[in-house]
Each structure stands twice: as C-alpha cells, then as structure tokens.
C-alpha cells in the first residue's frame, strides 16, 4: 500500500471534522480508501460526533485545579444542563483541569481532542472545550459554585494567605464585581452613567455647584460598588474586602460564568 498522503488526511478531516491522527489511522486501516475510512470512523462513533457539532451548546460546567501558587480554570460546554450535571462529563472536565495545571494548555487541548468523540458518543450531545484560564501568584484561592456555573480565581501578592484568597473568591462569585479597584472602572462607562445622572438631576433645579458635588458623590459610589476591594465583605458587612485582606493585594482576578 502506498503511504498515506497529507492531502488525503486533510481531505478526510475536512469531510468529517475528525482529528488528524484518527483520520490517518482510519485511512491506513482502509488502505487509502476514503469512503471506507469514513465508514470506519462512523463505526467508531467518531464521525457521528461530528454530526452533532452544529448543535448549539448553551450549557456547560466549570472546573478548577490548583496548587499553592497556581490555579487553572476550564470551561466544558454541552447542550443541556442534564449532561452538564452528568458524572462522566464532570470527570472529563476535572481531568482536563488537572492536565492544564500539571502539563499546560497544549496537553489539555490534546487530551480534549482525544476524549471528546467518546464523550459525545456516550452522552449523546455535542461537547467542546471552552475557555481556559491560568493564574500564578504567591497565593492563589479559588471557588466553584455548587452548580458549577460560576467559578473564580484570586491571586494575592503575598504567600500564606490561602484562606483569605478563597474567601475573596467566594465573595466575588456571589457579588460579581466587574473590577478590582475603583480606578479600574472604564471612563466610557462612567460617561454613560454621568449622562443618566445629569438627566435625573436636571429636574431638581439645584445650583450648579451643588449638582457638581452630587455628581462627584455618585461617581465615587458607582466606582466603589463595582470594585471588588471596596465591596462590603459578604461574611462580615462591617469591613470591606480591602480591609479584610490587610496588607495583601489582589494581583489577579478571574471570574467565569456559563
């Protein structure tokens, strides 16, 4: 049998969407016969997985793996919440997260490519690898909500504060602050809010100097409400996250929702 050409492998991949290695193996088994190779892939359930690929994936789950100084987050997407809660789906997601932590992104993607066809065949839905995030810091803390729809990673600039980092991650999961510090709030977002405030205040007939002070107060409040460090800590409303952390500073903040 003549060697399998790269163009034949590429053509089979284009027709089936199956990974290159699986295409090459199928062509070798079929002695180069393209149609027979497609039949082989269908019998293995791999080509059937491709047929599902155009179905929308509105659901999914989030998985985190971490050690003392690094945490990673993997999003695994599917079509229904029923599959998102399946044990086999969860096992795959956690395995990918652990691989990402220990071996890096390329290894995680390779594992996903090999495992997806079998997972699709077993679970009966289109499944794909979504977002992958990695945070390295002197201290990392993470939190995944019980439904695996919200996950947060916090990186602190000092070591030995794992409990605090986890508490802040839990807080961020619940309160959804879009920014870490008040100064992080974008100018364009503030400008839109100012237009709304001006319209609201225009009906109050107050002196210009008073209106300007009110506007400054509204801006300060808006910045702080949207900044993680200035929010009241969910476990103790008498102190902000900033005060709870003491001398520790947040240097990384990742929050993902599916």
- For residue 60, being part of any structural domain is answered with yes
Rounded distance between C-alpha atoms, residue 144 and residue 124, angstroms: 26
CATH number at residue 29: 1.10.8.10
Q: Are residues 71 and 124 in the same domain?
A: yes
- For residue 164, being part of any structural domain is answered with no
Rounded distance between C-alpha atoms, residue 202 and residue 149, angstroms: 42
Q: How many residues are listed for the chain in this entry?
A: 258
Rounded distance between C-alpha atoms, residue 73 and residue 209, angstroms: 49
Q: Are residues 46 and 111 in the same domain?
A: no
User: Taking 70 as the threshold, does the pLDDT of residue 54 lie above it?
Assistant: no
Report helix, strand or coil for 158: coil
Rounded distance between C-alpha atoms, residue 258 and residue 250, angstroms: 24
Q: Which residues of 145-216 form beta strands (DSSP E)? A: 150-156
Residue 50 has what pLDDT?
57
CATH number at residue 118: 3.30.479.20
52 — pLDDT class (breaks 50, 70, 90): low
Rounded distance between C-alpha atoms, residue 123 and residue 84, angstroms: 10
Which tokens go with 81? Answer: 């919440």
Share of the chain above pLDDT 70, in %: 94
Using the 3D structure, point to which of 136, 165, 182 is the last residue of a domain. Answer: 136
Burial class (CB in 10 A: 0-12, 13-18, 19+), 236: exposed
pLDDT digits (tens, 9 = 90+) for 145-172: 999 999 999 999 999 999 999 999 999 9
User: Taking 90 as the threshold, does the pLDDT of residue 202 lie above it?
Assistant: no
How many domains does the chain divide into? 2
Residue 61 has what pLDDT?
97
- For residue 161, being part of any structural domain is answered with no
Domain assignment of residue 48, given as a range: 6-53
Using the 3D structure, point to which of 79, 113, 136 is the last residue of a domain. Answer: 136
114 — pLDDT class (breaks 50, 70, 90): confident
User: Average per-residue pLDDT in the chain?
Assistant: 90
User: Taking 70 as the threshold, does the pLDDT of residue 53 lie above it?
Assistant: no
Rounded distance between C-alpha atoms, residue 38 and residue 46, angstroms: 10
pLDDT digits (tens, 9 = 90+) for 69-112: 999 999 999 989 999 999 999 999 999 999 999 999 999 999 99
The more confidently predicted of residues 93 and 121 is: 93
- For residue 166, being part of any structural domain is answered with no
pLDDT digits (tens, 9 = 90+) for 9-42: 877 776 776 778 888 888 999 999 888 888 888 7
């Amino acid at each position: 049998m003549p060697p399998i050409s790269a163009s034949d492998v590429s053509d089979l991949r284009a027709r089936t969407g199956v990974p290159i290695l699986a295409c090459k193996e199928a062509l070798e088994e079929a002695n180069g016969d393209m149609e027979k190779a497609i039949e082989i892939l269908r019998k293995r359930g791999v080509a059937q997985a491709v047929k599902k690929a155009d179905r929308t994936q509105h659901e999914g789950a989030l998985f985190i793996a971490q050690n003392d100084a690094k945490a990673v987050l993997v999003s695994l997407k599917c079509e229904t919440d029923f599959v998102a809660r399946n044990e086999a789906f969860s096992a795959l997601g956690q395995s990918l997260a652990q691989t990402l932590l220990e071996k890096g992104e390329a290894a995680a993607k390779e594992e996903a490519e090999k495992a997806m066809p079998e997972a699709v065949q077993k679970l009966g839905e289109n499944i794909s690898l979504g977002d992958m995030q990695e945070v390295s810091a002197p201290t990392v803390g993470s939190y995944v909500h019980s439904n695996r729809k919200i996950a947060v990673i916090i990186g602190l600039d000092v070591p030995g504060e794992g409990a605090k980092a986890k508490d802040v991650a839990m807080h961020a999961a619940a309160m959804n602050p879009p920014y870490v510090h008040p100064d992080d709030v974008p100018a364009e977002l503030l400008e839109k809010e100012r237009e709304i405030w001006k319209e609201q205040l225009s009906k109050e007939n107050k002196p210009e100097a008073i209106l300007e002070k009110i506007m400054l107060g509204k801006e300060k409040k808006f910045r702080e409400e949207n900044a993680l460090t200035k929010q009241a800590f969910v476990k103790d409303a008498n102190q902000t996250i900033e005060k709870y952390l003491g001398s520790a500073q947040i240097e990384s903040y990742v929050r993902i929702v599916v």
